[in-house]
Amino acid sequence: MTGEFGRSRSGGETVCRRLVAPLLGTELRRNGAVRGSDKKMLTIDEIKANREIMSCLNLDLTPERAVALYLEWGSSWAHGRDFVRSEGDVSCFFKIDAWEAPATVLLVRQSISDETVLGEVEVPAELVARALQSWGGKRGTYGLTDELRGWLKQELTGVGEEQG
């Protein structure tokens, strides 16, 4: 039996993981094993409609910060008082995957036990290209640029970044 948010009484995966799987139409695999042609394309509307994703979505979380918060328990100095307290703590965030061309924006679910790629997100190609240029155009995994974060925030919440 599982509560609406949290872990099942039997010690199973969190509800966020259980309820995101139907969105993908596929079985989620441990350790981010959705790769290549297995990646599902997600629209902004699909993400907005999924309450579990929206409740754990953190637009400011970067891949580096996710590792520090969820996987490096011994480096508490790096995150001060902001750290993961239990197996049930999860975050969803976006990252740029530039290991293969063309670079893509992925929606990821991070917990202390695994990282799961929920899918590739439809983002204007020119935004991804500019983001990759800002990171030097090299292969790798990157966090969002301010421009890309602002676009996602506007699309997901209808609230834009203030222009100064």
Supply angle C-alpha 55, 68, 5, rounded to 5.
25
Question: Binning pLDDT at 50, 70 and 90, where does residue 129 land?
Answer: very high
* Packing angle, helices 146-157 and 125-134, rounded to 10: 150
When mean pLDDT is compared across 54-63, 64-73, 134-143, the lowest value belongs to 64-73
Give the per-residue pLDDT at 88.
80
Mean pLDDT score, 47-64: 92
Give the per-residue pLDDT at 26.
40
Question: Binning pLDDT at 50, 70 and 90, where does residue 80 land?
Answer: low
Give the per-residue pLDDT at 145.
95
Rounded distance between C-alpha atoms, residue 21 and residue 8, angstroms: 16
Whole-number average pLDDT of the chain: 74
In percent, the amount of the chain with pLDDT more than 90 equals 44
Q: What is residue 3's three-state secondary structure?
A: coil
Length of the chain: 164
Question: Binning pLDDT at 50, 70 and 90, where does residue 67 land?
Answer: confident
Q: Are 53 and 47 in contact (CB under 8 A)?
A: yes
Domain ranges across the chain:
15-157
